[in-house]
């Protein structure tokens, strides 16, 4: 990985100096106030982290290194990874080198499969993915370098090696989990003539690597790759990595957070909901039927999956990308038609209802219906797909954090009694 490593080395001096100067000269500058609501409300809205790979704004949504995500939907995950980690688009040579690195370790050693095969058959696919990563920790070059006394200035190089090995293997592992868990037959070995996403589609068993499904998987892996630094998975991985735990520990921690229903698991809930609408109305409901059904749920104090967002205040651009793909390729599919109809009806109802701060669809509202269309119907697997993609962003953040010598995360926690005392004193 001479080109990528060389690019990062070229950038590193200035970035380290900038961090040092900022800490020295501006460490006392106030960025905001901490109030009791932040402490009680999961630190929502509290500025407390640095993340340069991507940003999420309420009105524009996700931008990777200032490039709106909708401008990246025709590219490959390898290009996105290079952009995430360096802030630049790769030239042909750098891209080809990276594609080679993503292929180099795509055959997974037997001891990993042995562990997965020994797991109880009702293990969730996310547990299997996280376990597979932990199993490979024994191969960490970062840990070996640390144990050998490598200077902390140089540790990031071993971290980059670990990250490339991990990313190279994670799609093979995920596809193997899919075939094992859902009795799809023998595992399919990666091909040397396909890139990372095409190989993933191929190894799942739903594609020859060059069809529409492969194109959907390519876009899916780009769209979910990163979402700033404060979401549960990125923050968890960052915290674990800040203790100089290697990327196998850190990414596993992040993916364990992604497995929560309020985070990554929401995508399986969304498709479940869409299918339940389709089943209840024996097909695509009329506008009137859907409007009444949405009101019925809201009056029962149930949420409408796929709508609303903690940060966004517009339609999620990632939803727009999936929706456009569906309109182009799956317009005749009834499940997609339900998604399309919900897009036209639900925001109006949520606005009239007046509770949700953001009535617009998020990324999870459409992605499942497209996977379902192409035969990937086991929605317990969807969060694994999300995890394979999100590994790109989390791994980029971890390499940068080690390269920039980010300190250990250690916010101050207070007791409820102390909080009440502080509220009283400030009232």
- Active-site annotation, residues: 263, 309, 364
Integer Cα distance of 316 and 383 in angstroms? 18
Residue 425: how many CB atoms within 10 A of its CB?
Answer: 7
Nearer to ligand CMX, 190 or 317 (CB): 317
For residues 292 to 311, the per-residue mask of contacts with ligand CMX, x marking binding by CB under 6 A and - elsewhere, is: ------x----xxxxxxxx-
Closer residue to ligand CMX in complex, CB, 140/367 = 367
- What Rg do the C-alpha atoms of the chain give, in angstroms? 22
Smallest separation, CB 307 to ligand CMX (Å): 4
For residue 67, the SS3 value is strand
| Number of residues lying near ligand CMX (CB under 6 A) | 18
**Alpha carbon distance 294, 289 (integer Å):** 9
The single-letter DSSP state of residue 388 is H
Give the residue at shortest CB distance from ligand CMX. Answer: 308
CB of 77 to ligand CMX, least distance (A): 19
Cβ neighbors of 390 (< 8 A, separation 6 or more) are 224, 225, 226, 227, 233, 234, 254, 255, 258, 264
* Inter-residue contact 162 to 394 (CB < 8 Å): no
For ligand CMX, the closer CB: 201 or 259: 259
State residue 109 phi and psi, 5-degree precision.
-65, 155
The piece of 99-107, 175-183, 336-344, 349-357 that touches ligand CMX (CB under 6 A) is: 349-357
User: Is residue 347 near ligand CMX by the rule CB under 6 A?
Assistant: no
Per the CB < 8 A criterion, the answer to whether 366 and 339 are in contact is yes
DSSP state, residue 69:
G
Task: Give the shortest CB-67-to-ligand CMX separation in angstroms.
Answer: 20
Q: Which of the residues 120 through 159 are near ligand CMX (CB under 6 A)?
A: none
Residue numbers 354-393 binding ligand CMX by CB under 6 A:
355-358, 362-364
Tokens for 146?
A: 């640390």
- The nearer residue to ligand CMX, 133 or 266, going by C-beta atoms, is 266
Closer to ligand CMX at the Cβ: 190 or 368?
368
- Each residue 260-299 as x (binds ligand CMX by CB under 6 A) or -, in order, gives --x---x-------------------------------x-
Handedness of CA 77, 80, 81, 82 (dihedral sign): positive
Please report, as ranges, the residues that interact with ligand CMX according to CB under 6 A: 262, 266, 298, 303-310, 355-358, 362-364
């Amino acid at each position: 990985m001479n080109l990528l490593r060389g690019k990062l080395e070229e950038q590193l001096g200035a970035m380290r100096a900038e961090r040092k100067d900022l800490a020295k000269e501006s460490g006392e500058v106030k960025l905001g106030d901490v109030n009791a609501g932040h402490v009680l409300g999961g630190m929502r809205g509290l500025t407390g982290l640095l993340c340069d790979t991507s940003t999420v704004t309420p009105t524009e949504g996700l931008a990777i290194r200032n490039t709106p995500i909708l401008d990246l939907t025709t590219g490959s995950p390898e290009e996105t990874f290079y952009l995430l980690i360096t802030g630049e688009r790769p030239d042909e040579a750098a891209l080809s080198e990276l594609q080679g690195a993503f292929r180099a370790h795509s055959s997974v050693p037997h001891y990993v499969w042995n562990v997965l095969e020994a797991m109880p058959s009702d293990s969730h696919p996310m547990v299997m993915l996280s376990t597979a990563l932990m199993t490979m920790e024994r191969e960490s070059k970062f840990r070996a370098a640390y144990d050998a006394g490598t200077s902390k200035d140089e540790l990031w190089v071993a971290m980059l090696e670990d990250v490339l090995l991990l990313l190279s293997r994670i799609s093979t592992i995920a596809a193997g989990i899919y075939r094992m868990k859902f009795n799809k037959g023998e595992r399919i070995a990666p091909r040397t003539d396909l890139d990372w996403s095409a190989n993933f589609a191929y190894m799942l068993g739903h594609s020859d690597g060059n069809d529409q499904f492969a194109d959907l998987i390519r876009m899916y892996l780009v769209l979910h790759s990163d979402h700033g630094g404060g979401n549960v998975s990125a923050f968890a991985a960052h915290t674990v990595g800040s203790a100089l735990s290697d990327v196998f520990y850190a990414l596993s921690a992040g993916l364990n957070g992604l497995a929560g229903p309020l985070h990554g698991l929401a995508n399986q809930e969304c498709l479940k909901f869409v299918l339940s609408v389709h089943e209840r109305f024996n097909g695509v409901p009329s506008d009137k039927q859907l409007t009444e059904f949405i009101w019925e749920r809201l009056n029962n104090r149930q949420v409408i999956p796929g709508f609303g967002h903690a940060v966004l205040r517009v339609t999620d651009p990632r939803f727009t990308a999936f929706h456009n793909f569906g309109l182009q390729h799956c317009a005749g599919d009834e499940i997609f038609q339900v998604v399309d109809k919900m897009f036209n009806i639900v925001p109006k109802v949520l606005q009239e209802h007046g509770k949700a701060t953001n009535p617009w669809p998020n990324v999870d509202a459409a992605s499942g219906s497209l996977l379902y269309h192409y035969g990937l119907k086991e929605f317990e697997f969807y969060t694994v797909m999300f995890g394979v993609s999100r590994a790109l962003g989390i791994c980029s953040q971890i390499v940068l954090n080690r390269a920039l010598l980010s300190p250990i995360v250690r916010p101050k926690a207070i007791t409820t009694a102390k909080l009440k005392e502080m509220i009283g004193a400030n009232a």
